[in-house]
Amino acid sequence: MNGLLLTVATWVHLLSAVAWIGGIFFILYVALPVAGKTMDQPGKIMGPLSKRFIPLANVSIFLIIATGIIMSIASHEFAGLSRLSSIRAQSLLIKILFVVLMTGIHFYRGLILTPGIALLSSEGSHPEKVQKLQTVSLNLVKINFFMGITVLLLTGMLYAYRV
């Protein structure tokens, strides 16, 4: 049973990472460039895309954390964290820290930054401040993407250095 649970948890973990990081990739490198080149107001398409993606990202984040805990307990990963001298333990620790940072950035953008931008936009009196906050938001998405692909690299290292 432990093997089946670990297999399913790993599968859900990987699917969730693909959905979250792949969604960020799609937004940054497909949707934004196309919307910017083909529309007078790219926000008209990016707003609905974001509203559709954010719930998927939220579920993915929850599943990544839940399955990560299950996988760590089932495979006794945390027992090895006491010996941070191994590359495997270091990789896992950095991976966990990056996921925590990514989650914080995601929810900061969704719960604080985006509503603030929407409020300022609706007032229409601070276009330069709106532009600055949109740039900050985009930069945070880029940071999350690069941390996400680093997490994928660290995941590869965890499998490669499996004892």
14-72 per-position pLDDT tens digit: 999 999 999 999 999 999 999 888 877 777 788 889 899 999 999 999 999 999 988 88
SS3 83: coil
For the segment 147-163, the average pLDDT, to the nearest whole number, is 88
Q: Is residue 37 within 8 Å of residue 157, measured between CB atoms? A: no
**Angle CA 21–27–30, to nearest 5:** 115
CA distance 57 to 19: 7
CA distance 88 to 56: 30
Q: What is the pLDDT of residues 77-136, one digit of tens each?
A: 555 555 667 788 888 889 999 999 999 999 999 999 999 998 998 888 788 999 999 999
The confidence score (pLDDT) of residue 124 equals 81
Instruction: Enter the pTM of the model.
Output: 0.87
